[in-house]
Amino acid sequence: MIIKGGTTITADGPRPADVIVEESTITAVTEPGQATGAGPIIDATGLWVLPGAVDAHTHFGMPLGSGVSSLGWQESSAAALLGGTTTIIDFANPTVGEPLPEAVSKWRGMADGVILCDYGLHVTVTDVSGDRLAEIPALVEQGLPTFKGFLAYKGRLMLSLVEMKRLMEAVHQAGAMLLVHAEDGEMNAAAERVLLDTGRTAPCWHPLAHPDESEVKAVAEILDLATVTGCPLTIVHMSLGQSLELLKKTRNTQGRDGKLFGEVCLHHLFADAGLYESGHEAALAAICSPPLRTEGNGDELLSGLVAGHLDLLSTDHCEFPLTVKSAAAGGGFPRVPNGCGGVAERMVVSHSLAVVTGKMDPARWIETCCHRPAELMGLASRKGQMAPGFDADIVLFDPLAEYRWDPLGSSDRAGSLWAGLPVTGRVRDVWLRGRQVVAGGKLTGDQPGGEFLPRHL
Ligand SMILES: [Zn+2]
């Protein structure tokens, strides 16, 4: 197959090029008109020819609180493909006392044969007793080199600082990386208690149970622990300008550049706490942790992402139907499952609100959404780049087309978080390992099925 007449985006910016694909692999990227070979010719005139995007942080089939993540593995991965994302990294979440390898088998069992895009798994660790830490090296060998720990969610997922330090030592020793949810579980629990004791249980109160100081404190603590232990660290879903400043400072002063990374998620860049005040449904859709923050934080985070102080633009996609969130809300905001959608919207929304507005150049956009997540998460040789030898995961993106909200056609998507934003552009066609999975903005039904991707840092 030859994709002709389009514009690719390299580290130097957009450039016209033809792309040759043989079987499941990109074999050449040539000057326009220079491509030769057999097979169908795809006319990409006027279109951007992008590498399939990589989302380093999703929760597709998450059993949580009162429901499961709305769309599940199949539907969420369909949304990913329709949004131009061909690879995601989700999580294996062990139950209390469950050995980590068993959790991995269980979560692979849910995804394999169902998921439509390629995927890897981070392994969540909520317990450092028993054999849990000793199980880490074998998992790294098997292609699971990234683990996740929580300073948030007291009584459920939270590790104390002492436990977190032990986890970081084990992860570091195994040559792996730790991802951390940095909010202070004690501080959040105390704030939540005050709100509930005073009858403030409606969804609009959710952000007050996650004060800014809680994230800032946890970010400072985890950066200290990373410095002490030497463990490579990605702080996920950083939501405050203040958190970014702490990361910047530690990178500069501790000589830890290259081992400390920051992730920002779509909703913290382009949505803000105003949604909690704009009606019951909007507030419900916006219930996620850390919560949406006051206006201004998004701009600071975007500037940090553009300047390279943050590394990844992910989604933390964890989408529950509005009906599920609404039913749970009767028991007070703490019962509402946390999470927002975004995997269908990440590329178009970030293109419209960062690239079209001139805040981010196209090369950096592709770096933060495709290349860098693949590189940081151990997929550097296969995913995230339009170059010979890489998987033929290719997206034809029409930057001028009108965007069609809700590509899955569901009326109950909490993804409506994004509706109403000034968004243009459309993912037109997508190939996964050389097979066309989206044509004209619709699933072809010719899904090869997603593959589990062993990763190596
Ligand atoms: Zn998450």
My answer on whether 153 and 19 are in the same domain is: no
- Taking only the tens place, the pLDDT of each residue in 377-428 is 999 999 999 999 999 999 999 999 988 766 666 555 545 677 778 888 999 9
Name the token pair of 64. Answer: 């949580």
Report the amino acid identity of residue 390.
F
Q: How far is the CA of 40 from the centre of ligand 1 (A)?
A: 40
| Strand residues in 320-434 grouped as ranges (E) | 394-402, 424-432
Name the token pair of 394. Answer: 């290719």
My answer on whether 392 and 340 are in the same domain is: no
Q: How far is the CA of 422 from the centre of ligand 1 (A)?
A: 26
Task: Tell me whether the omega of the peptide bond preceding residue 94 falls within 30 degrees of 0, making it cis.
Answer: no
Does any domain span residue 64?
A: yes
Which are the contacts of 55, defined by CB distance < 8 A and separation ≥ 6? 80, 85, 87, 88, 89, 314, 315, 317, 343, 346, 373
Name the stretches of the chain with pLDDT < 50: 414
Q: How far is the CA of 58 from the centre of ligand 1 (A)?
A: 6
Q: How far is the CA of 281 from the centre of ligand 1 (A)?
A: 22
Does any domain span residue 65?
A: yes
Q: How far is the CA of 57 from the centre of ligand 1 (A)?
A: 6
**For residue 369, what pLDDT is reported?**
98
Pick the last residue of a domain from 353, 376, 399: 376
My answer on whether 236 and 148 are in the same domain is: yes
My answer on whether 150 and 25 are in the same domain is: no
Does any domain span residue 438?
A: yes
My answer on whether 171 and 265 are in the same domain is: yes
Q: How far is the CA of 149 from the centre of ligand 1 (A)?
A: 11
My answer on whether 115 and 257 are in the same domain is: yes
User: CA–CA separation, 265 vs 201, rounded Å?
Assistant: 26
Pick the last residue of a domain from 341, 357, 376: 376
Does any domain span residue 230?
A: yes
Q: How far is the CA of 56 from the centre of ligand 1 (A)?
A: 10
What does DSSP say about strands 394-402 and 424-432: parallel, antiparallel, or unpaired? antiparallel
My answer on whether 323 and 350 are in the same domain is: yes
User: Tokens 């991995």 label which residue?
Assistant: 104
My answer on whether 41 and 56 are in the same domain is: no
My answer on whether 62 and 129 are in the same domain is: yes
Q: How far is the CA of 284 from the centre of ligand 1 (A)?
A: 17
**For residue 22, what pLDDT is reported?**
95
Q: How far is the CA of 31 from the centre of ligand 1 (A)?
A: 41
Measured between alpha carbons, how far is residue 154 from residues 150, 183, 187, 359 in Å? Answer: 9, 10, 9, 38
**For residue 416, what pLDDT is reported?**
62
**For residue 408, what pLDDT is reported?**
64
CATH of the domain at 27: 2.30.40.10
My answer on whether 138 and 45 are in the same domain is: no
Pick the last residue of a domain from 346, 376, 406: 376
Does any domain span residue 457?
A: no
Q: How far is the CA of 278 from the centre of ligand 1 (A)?
A: 25
Does any domain span residue 452?
A: no
**For residue 24, what pLDDT is reported?**
96
Q: How far is the CA of 393 from the centre of ligand 1 (A)?
A: 25
Q: How far is the CA of 90 from the centre of ligand 1 (A)?
A: 9
Q: How far is the CA of 288 from the centre of ligand 1 (A)?
A: 9
My answer on whether 248 and 329 are in the same domain is: yes
CA 92 to chain centre: 15
What range defines the domain where residue 343 resides? 52-376
Q: How far is the CA of 395 from the centre of ligand 1 (A)?
A: 25
My answer on whether 216 and 129 are in the same domain is: yes
Q: How far is the CA of 294 from the centre of ligand 1 (A)?
A: 20
CA 42 to chain centre: 30
CATH of the domain at 226: 3.20.20.140
Q: How many domains does the chain have?
A: 2
